[in-house]
Amino acid sequence: MNKTIKKIQIQNINLDSNIHSSNNSKSLYKGIWHKSNSGNPIKKSNMVITAHRFMYTNNSDTFYHLPKLKINDTIIITWEGKDYNYQVVETKIVNPDQIEIEAPTKEHILTLYTCTPLWTSSQRFVVIAVPKQYE
């Protein structure tokens, strides 16, 4: 497997997309964007990934169906050639100025978010996931 490829897979919403990792917000127009100044599966902390809900392009790499995620759903992040499994523990809606959703954390978490309701940017739908624990 190519160690430079970064992917997100969420089976419950049929999402299997590359992740663009950078500090440049223009990456959001390429598809799913990891804010590279946030955590990652190796660096830990709060790994922040965001995407548009819809784009008027041929690009299908959006979070169109993100609000369909439920507690306990699985998210797989492929990072540097290895898969990391996360489990959804919380979903919520916040206002755009509630930037604390991007704040660094001591614990490793995954934060996904997109605009909501559909066709607006008035709020954000946020998914919080933690590394999946295996029994």
CATH number for position 104: 2.40.260.10
- The residues, ordered by sequence, that sit 6+ positions from 59 with a Cβ below 8 Å of its Cβ are 30, 31
Give the rounded percent of residues in the chain with a pLDDT score beyond 70: 93
Contact 49, 111 (CB under 8 A): yes
Characterize 89-110 residue by residue with b for buried, 16 or more Cβ atoms within 10 angstroms of its Cβ, and e for exposed.
Answer: eebeeeeeeeeebeeeeeebbb
- Whether 111 shows a pLDDT value over 60: the answer reads yes
Q: Which amino acid is at 134?
A: Y
- Could you report the per-residue pLDDT of 75-110, keeping only the tens digit for each? 999 999 899 999 999 999 999 999 999 999 999 999
Q: For residue 113, tell me if it sits in a domain.
A: yes
Residue 57 is predicted with a pLDDT of 65
Confirm whether 100 is domain-assigned.
yes
Considering the chain, what percentage of its residues have pLDDT values greater than 90? Answer: 77
What's the token pair of residue 40? 């990652």
Residue 52: both structure tokens together: 């548009």
All residues at 6 or more sequence positions from 112 whose CB lies less than 8 Å from its CB, including other chains: 49, 50, 51, 63, 66, 75, 126, 127, 129
Q: Is residue 77 part of a domain?
A: yes
Residue 56, domain member (yes or no): yes
Q: How many domains does the chain have?
A: 1
What was the pLDDT predicted at 4? 80
Q: Is the pLDDT of residue 58 over 70?
A: no
Domain assignment of residue 81, given as a range:
7-131
| pLDDT (tens digit per residue) in 15-45 | 999 999 999 888 888 899 999 999 999 999 9
Q: In this structure, is residue 33 part of a structural domain?
A: yes
Any residues with CB less than 8 A from the CB of 120 and at least 6 apart, and which?
none
60, part of any domain: yes
Is residue 1 domain-resident? no
Q: Would 2 be classed as within a structural domain? A: no
Structure tokens at 113: 């978010």
